[in-house]
A and B are shown apart, each in its own frame.
Chain A
Amino acid sequence: MSPDRHPRAEAPDAAPPVRAWARIGRLRAWGLVLPAGVLYAVTFGIPLAMLLGASFARFQGGVTTPGFFLDNYVKIATDGVTLAVFRNTVSLSLLITAVGLACALPVAMLMRRAGPGLRLVAMFVLVSPLLTSIIVRNVAWMLILGRSGMINSWLIDAGLISAPLPLMYNRLGVVIAVVHVYLPFAVLPIYAALRAIDPARERAAASLGAAPWRVFVHVTLPLAAPGLIAAFTLLFILSMGLYLTPVILGGNFVVTLPMMITDAARNQYNWPYASAMSVLLLASIVAVVAVSAVLGRLFAVPRDA
């Protein structure tokens, strides 16, 4: 065993030279992440600092004054509109996440049971929306969901409804189109978690008298929790950043915070306010990541106390 390859393997009786080697090994390990670290600092850290700085600038009469002002945050808290849109964005994201998880779980369970061929087909079908241009995808949904779109004309032709159903220019249309494209981000982590479950555990539960639904509730679901938490986090984060799909399929009826940010920056040239709203968006995402990290620990299987 070479000490430099096992920097943490410190025996209590390790001689000083070994410790020195271990320290060098640790430094070398840090050296490995240096290129990625520099890249992140330049492309992520610095812009983030600039964003934070800009959010404290003052914007008055079309003129931006750098400095430390709380104007923008006061505006967020008091203008009534921004917070309403923020709440709307959060509730839309939660809705998309809930619908997405509900759709993803059965798909992941099916993929777990499927043979390799069917699994490959399912994987391709799931990922295919990601390979399509977002504009094309949304326009296709308009053709399907519109007043005289595919679904409404079928239903009217079949005599099931007399007037077209409102399937888009509302939350419903946005949720359908977004879940369609984000589904793989929910299915894959859940599928990975389900695959890691030893089927003997579920059989053990059945042999102990658990009906199939109780096996699912008491064994499968808790053991798949890490995958569900990951899927929840991914879906929520992705949904908080929605812009184009609500614009196209929501009409002017679904307004998200990213839409407001774009408007402030591009139409009003109010970069400080756009920055402050971005900080709010970012903070809410960090909060969700933190919560899911805590949840992840809660559901982690205890080992070697």
Chain B
Amino acid sequence: MTAVALDGVVKRYGGVTAVDGIDLQVGKGEFLTLLGPSGCGKSTTLQMIAGFVLPSAGRIRIGGRDSTRLPPHRRNVGMVFQNYALFPHMTLADNVAFGLRMRGVAKAERRRRAGEALAVVQLTGLADRYPGQISGGQQQRVALARALVIQPDVLLLDEPFGALDKQLRDRMRIELRDLQRQLGISLIFVTHDQEEALSMSDRIAVLSEGRIRQLGTPDGIYRRPANRFVAEFMGHSNILPARVVEASGDRALVRAGGLLLAVSGRLSAGGDIELMIRPERIGIGPADAGAAIRGRVAGMQYLGASLHYRVVVEGGTELSVVTPDPGEGRRVPGDPVALAIPDGAPFVIGS
């Protein structure tokens, strides 16, 4: 059962194409994230689902109903905005009850359900406060309660944690995910933060230039990017041009700079490919004569929990390596080191 279905949705502004043919189905109870850099069309797509922007072409179905041309107030969609967009002249209870009031729910019933919704987001007791009197994190929760109380077919969130500090953002991530699972809500989340997308989503759609570049589970997208854009956008990566030296079945031997690596995938000998190795998959240790890959530390960045090395290996290729901080025995620039790239770490982009 699908909650939302986009079918060839396009949005053009004059000569500029903001969204260039998006096909997407969000299942009931699914947490789907639209991820991409600014200007990739993710917000425009969300605005079209909410009804604030009319698509230039394509169809949008919400809750089984063709909603392509329906005005926002006729769609049963809950939306949480980046700056919360609470009504500053209403109490929190009235904010939350607004959608019920528009639906003609009687006053006592409104009050009761708004109270329940505020309890769900742990704001019991603040019902009579005004938005200007509570913190940003609390405002965020009110916005969530306000959108949830109408029992929408789908909940849309547009960079909702952008204005919060990091600690609060991390906590809201967990809370939102728990709440979504617990209530079984279908949810579309828009963000440019890949960590946010990876930590919460059932599926992620990576967008750039108005198109979906890859659609898949967080694990699939992180470990098996379909193209260079996705590989680079989803966190740090070493991307190396390589040539296939030898191929047999679905195994192959490739040469990238001075490195000779075994990869999986049906490749043909002599072909040019792009290889991705995540920095945290590479091991780093003291240089010894027997090591397969030897190099020299070119730079080190201290990140608290982890260390980020730049290592130049024989042949001049520079690799990023991330390891947990051992506390003792950190390498410093100039140190000779040995690298270990385990089987399965190098991934042929697009395979």
Contact = CB atoms under 8 A, between A and B. Distances in A.
Interface stretch (B71-79, B251-259, B343-351): B71-79
B50 interface: yes
A191 B324 CA distance: 57
Contact of B50 (A205, A207, A212, A219): A207
Given A198-B83, A200-B83, A207 B88 contact: no
B132 to A, nearest CB: 4
A302 B132 contact: yes
B50 A303 contact: no
Contact of A207 (B72, B89, B129, B130): B72
Contact of B89 (A203, A211, A223): A223
A203 B85 contact: yes
Q: Is the interface of B mostly helix, strand, loop or mixed?
A: loop
B49 to A, nearest CB: 10
A218 interface: yes
A301 interface: yes
B81 A209 contact: no
A158 B77 CA distance: 53
A305 B131 CA distance: 11
A208 B105 CA distance: 13
Contacts of B229: none
Nearest to B99: A208
B132 A304 contact: yes
Nearest to B158: A200
Contact of B87 (A205, A209, A304): A205
Contact of B133 (A201, A219, A304): A304
A210 interface: yes
Contacts of B50: 203, 207
B306 to A, nearest CB: 38
A8 interface: no
A219 B99 CA distance: 13
Contacts of A200: 81-83, 85
B73, B103, B133 interface centre (most CB from chain A within 10 Å): B73
Interface string B62-100: 000000000111011111011101111100000000110
A207 B79 contact: yes
A97 to B, nearest CB: 23
B85 A209 contact: no
Nearest to A225: B89
A207 B67 CA distance: 13
A208 B83 contact: no
Contacts of A222: 89
A198 B131 CA distance: 14
B150 interface: yes
Interface in B276-311: none
A302 B95 CA distance: 14
Nearest to A305: B133
B62 to A, nearest CB: 12
Contact of B81 (A204, A219, A223): A204
B139 to A, nearest CB: 12
Contact of A301 (B52, B78, B85, B88): B88
A28 interface: no
A299 interface: yes
Contacts of B1: none
A78 to B, nearest CB: 46
A295 B136 CA distance: 29
B146 interface: yes
A303 B132 contact: yes
A2 B48 CA distance: 52
A208 B133 contact: no
Interface in A166-212: 198, 200-201, 203-212
Given A208-B146, A214-B102, A203 B88 contact: no
9 contacts: A200-B81, A201-B86, A201-B88, A203-B85, A205-B87, A205-B98, A207-B75, A209-B102, A212-B73
Given A207-B147, A208-B102, A210-B98, 10 more contacts: A200-B85, A201-B88, A207-B75, A209-B73, A209-B102, A210-B102, A211-B73, A302-B88, A302-B133, A303-B130
